[in-house]
Structure 1
Amino acid sequence: MLEFLTPAKKRKWLDLTPMIDVVFLLLIFFMLTSIYAKPMMPVSLPESETSTVQEEPEITLGISSDGSLSLNSQNITIDQLYERLSGLLERHREKNIRLIADKQIHFGLVINVMDIAKKAGADNIAVVTEKKAAL
């Protein structure tokens, strides 16, 4: 009798090389873009159309237009701020501060005061804004 040779079954092979190339390119892309993303410090502007009334924090820190500071309506200097604020924050359970700054002052002073407040132990600093008048 005549025997026919059956062809060996061909293995179906899926080439994954292009897919792996794409995955590595995406991985490199996201790694490079995440390195250059700089974290932003949350800042509220002096006027806001969507201002809402927040729960009254226990500590209020004010900066007037001439740069003088007040802590809970008592005038203090920048040198006294850390000591007085850390003492107040130790006595309060919630370490929230409401910062009221005049819009005419230099932004660097606001950042300096916020840094001192964070070093003194403040968890949250809410910058008070004034709601814009409707036109």
Structure 2
Amino acid sequence: MEFIRSKRQPPHIEITPLVDIIFQLLIFFMLSSNFIAPMLKMDLPKALFKEKLEKVDLVVTVSREGDIYVNKDRIPPEDLEAALKERMARLGKYDVIFKGDVCINYGLFVEILDTAKLAGATGFSVEHAKKGR
């Protein structure tokens, strides 16, 4: 008895679905990356050493123009103390991180530091970028 042998083709992988998925992922990441933008364009001061800070929910940011933000809310300077007190009471945390542009007035920095202390802040950290050597 003679068996008929069929010619076997070597196995291969269909790449068409793979290419479709890759293009879909590429489009997804391209679209989502456009929506991830910093709130303010800032040039942070540089320092040689940078400590890792634990997550603090209270950040005071000062833009190059001198606008003051608590977290992402713009606050007039005269309302800063009340805003800090309200947020500290709500969060139960009394540590404040200061994030200011390298070009801000030093007097404004000291003013914000004093206001944070008047509001009851017990810890105050200054965020900066690491200086490249």
Q: TM-score scaled by structure 1?
A: 0.63
Q: Give the structure 2 partner of residue 107 of structure 1.
A: 106
Cα distance in 2, alignment partners of residues 131 and 58 from structure 1: 22
Q: Secondary structure at the match of 1:119?
A: helix
Is residue 2:67 matched to residue 1:68?
A: yes
Cα distance in 2, alignment partners of residues 92 and 119 from structure 1: 17
Q: Give the structure 2 partner of residue 23 of structure 1.
A: none
**Structure 1 residue 102, shift from structure 2 partner:** 0.7
Is residue 2:68 matched to residue 1:82?
A: no
Deviations 1:19-53 (A, max 9, x none): xxxxxxxxxxxxxxxxxxxxxxxxxx932111122
Matches within 5 A, 1:1-135: 46-134=45-133
Cα distance in 1, alignment partners of residues 101 and 68 from structure 2: 11
Cα distance in 2, alignment partners of residues 84 and 76 from structure 1: 8
User: Rg: which structure is higher?
Assistant: 1
Cα distance in 2, alignment partners of residues 102 and 65 from structure 1: 5
Q: TM-score scaled by structure 2?
A: 0.64
Percent identity (aligned): 26
Which residue identity lines up with residue 86 of structure 1 in the other structure?
A: K
Q: Secondary structure at the match of 1:116?
A: helix
CA RMSD of aligned residues (A): 1.4
Cα distance in 1, alignment partners of residues 93 and 60 from structure 2: 15
**Structure 1 residue 94, shift from structure 2 partner:** 2.6
Which residue identity lines up with residue 52 of structure 2 in the other structure?
A: V
